[in-house]
């Protein structure tokens, strides 16, 4: 269901269960969501209707609603849940007042005040007894391996169910993480799953949002999540944030465990969105998924490199090998952006179409050269040059799966070079227009 039909289902549900709808607006973003105002008992209510994310079937808004209800029952500031709309795969909740993270338009000191309040809420959430989340369907892991990896393994399973082609970096990272679990951490705790998302006003958070990936695991997962989100959504002095967490929680900051979970957390994203790319799903926001896939793959391999003590090389785009009719491809994004469309979700769809056109131009310019550079690297590693990219990916994945641990350094360097080339290819389309890297913990805390 999409467009006006879906809008009508949402409006009908709110009218029948809350009260007359005064306004309804589709949010301009990569997942279906709506801002709604309705009237109940003569009072205007602001509602937010949140739909399931496309291409991410196991993280449903229905499961998220159960977690939000449990968090609300424990005094954690979250939006209240009013009900679910099965026909739209959506949940109706409070439209929280204020602005969404990241903090913008306020000074550094004000950002610190907001982040202090966020950290305090995060500490309270982590203190919820995991058994209290049983009603929300969250399983409690037992032992270091389960605490560290159960969450990851759910992503691995889904990735393998839909895998259509070789993914050497993902396979290497899965194996490396399984071999390097922090054996000294076995205490399961409730974690938000995707930290750093909240609404705020007047120096305070008005609620935590987006907890669809909440689970029982290691709190270092959430601290790692702050590091990753900070790359594209700055949170002020992140070192200060981490130190405040340590102070408020009373839990010493385990840097090695935070780094491990940085690689693990990052890997979950490409594992989760691989289905979109492997099945060639024609999603409006496909370029956003491509960005997530490659950028979080980069964060994964760079975190592994830090843990393994492997120095990484500088990577640049190879010289372009343009295909025919480059002028037509180069002009297509501007042509699309110039099309007149009604305000609202159509503007978002126009931007997405223009981004796909820009991607096509970049691939036409650099794609052949990047394939050749990747094959050069594989030939140097394996001593034989594959016939084409598909054969090269297959040969490299087979080498990854058969490799002994002493081959990790060479594989880390090669895999890093490959993913960086893909990001250089799409760099003009990335959030912020640049490739962001996770700041080392030593730079944040020392």
Whether residues 172 and 223 share a domain: the answer is: yes
| Nearest by Cα to 226 from 360, 69, 101 | 101
Q: Is residue 171 part of a domain?
A: yes
Whether residues 220 and 128 share a domain: the answer is: yes
* Interatomic CA distance for residues 335 and 170, integer angstroms: 37
Whether residues 31 and 170 share a domain: the answer is: no
Enumerate helices (H) and strands (E) in the chain, giving the number of each.
14, 10
For residue 136, CA distances in Å to 63, 64, 90, 128, 206 come to: 7, 8, 17, 13, 23
Whether residues 236 and 380 share a domain: the answer is: yes
Whether residues 279 and 389 share a domain: the answer is: yes
pTM (2 d.p.): 0.93
Neighbours of 419 (CB within 10 A): 23
Q: Is residue 231 part of a domain?
A: yes
Whether residues 131 and 74 share a domain: the answer is: no
Whether residues 117 and 82 share a domain: the answer is: no
- Measured CA angle at 29 (ends 94, 64), to 5 deg: 45
For the chain, the domain total comes to: 2
Q: Are 294 and 422 in contact, with CB atoms under 8 Å apart?
A: yes
Sequential pLDDT tens for the chain (446 residues): 445 568 899 999 999 999 999 999 988 776 889 999 999 999 999 999 999 876 555 678 999 999 999 999 999 999 999 999 998 889 999 999 999 998 888 999 999 999 999 999 999 999 999 999 988 889 999 999 999 999 999 999 999 999 999 999 999 999 999 999 999 999 999 999 999 999 999 999 999 999 999 999 999 999 999 999 999 999 999 999 999 999 999 999 999 999 999 999 999 999 999 999 999 888 888 999 999 999 999 999 999 999 999 999 999 999 999 888 888 888 989 999 999 998 888 898 999 999 999 999 999 999 999 999 999 999 999 999 999 999 999 999 999 999 999 999 999 999 999 999 999 999 999 999 999 999 999 999 99
Q: Is residue 111 part of a domain?
A: yes
Reported residue count of the chain is: 446
| Nearest by Cα to 168 from 320, 391, 328, 17 | 391
Whether residues 257 and 385 share a domain: the answer is: yes
Which CATH number does the domain housing residue 83 bear?
3.30.200.20
Find the domain containing 404 and state its range.
99-317+364-445
Which CATH number does the domain housing residue 232 bear?
3.90.1200.10
| Nearest by Cα to 193 from 226, 170, 169 | 226
């Amino acid at each position: 269901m999409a467009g006006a039909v879906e809008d009508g289902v949402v409006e009908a549900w709110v009218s029948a269960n809350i009260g007359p709808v005064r306004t309804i607006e589709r949010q301009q973003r990569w997942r279906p969501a709506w801002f709604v105002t309705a009237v109940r008992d003569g009072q205007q209510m602001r509602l937010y209707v949140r739909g399931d994310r496309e291409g991410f079937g196991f993280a449903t808004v229905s499961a998220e609603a159960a977690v939000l209800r449990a968090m609300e029952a424990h005094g954690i500031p979250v939006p209240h849940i009013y009900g679910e709309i099965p026909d739209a795969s959506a949940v109706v909740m409070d439209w929280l007042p204020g602005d969404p993270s990241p903090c913008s338009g306020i000074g550094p000191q004000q950002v610190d005040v907001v982040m202090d309040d966020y950290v305090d809420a995060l500490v309270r959430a982590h203190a919820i007894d995991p058994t209290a989340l049983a009603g929300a369907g969250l399983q409690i892991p037992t032992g270091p391996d389960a605490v560290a990896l159960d969450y990851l393994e759910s992503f691995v399973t889904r990735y393998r169910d839909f895998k259509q082609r070789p993914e050497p970096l993902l396979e290497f990272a899965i194996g490396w993480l399984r071999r390097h679990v922090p054996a000294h951490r076995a205490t399961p705790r409730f974690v938000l799953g995707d930290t750093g998302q909240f609404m705020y006003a007047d120096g305070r958070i008005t609620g935590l949002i987006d907890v669809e990936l909440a689970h029982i695991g290691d709190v270092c997962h959430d601290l790692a999540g702050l590091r990753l989100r900070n790359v594209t959504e700055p949170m002020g002095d992140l070192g200060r944030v981490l130190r405040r967490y340590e102070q408020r929680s009373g839990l010493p900051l385990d840097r090695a465990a935070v780094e491990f979970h940085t690689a693990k957390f990052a890997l979950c994203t490409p594992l989760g969105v691989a289905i979109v790319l492997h099945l060639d799903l024609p999603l409006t926001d496909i370029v956003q998924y491509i960005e997530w896939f490659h950028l979080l793959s980069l964060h994964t391999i760079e975190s592994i490199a830090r843990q393994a003590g492997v120095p990484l090389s500088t990577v640049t785009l190879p010289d372009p090998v343009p295909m025919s009719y480059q002028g037509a491809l180069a002009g297509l994004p501007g042509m699309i952006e110039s099309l007149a469309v009604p305000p609202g979700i159509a503007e978002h769809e126009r931007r997405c179409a223009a981004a796909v056109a820009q991607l096509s131009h970049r691939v036409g310019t650099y794609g052949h050269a990047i394939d050749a550079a990747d094959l050069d690297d594989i030939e140097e590693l394996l001593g034989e040059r594959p016939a084409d990219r598909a054969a090269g990916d297959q040969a490299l994945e087979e080498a990854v799966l058969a490799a002994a641990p002493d081959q990790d350094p060479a594989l880390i360097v090669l895999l890093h070079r490959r993913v960086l080339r893909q990001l250089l290819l799409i760099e003009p389309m990335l959030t912020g227009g640049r490739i962001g890297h996770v700041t080392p913990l030593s730079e944040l805390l020392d």
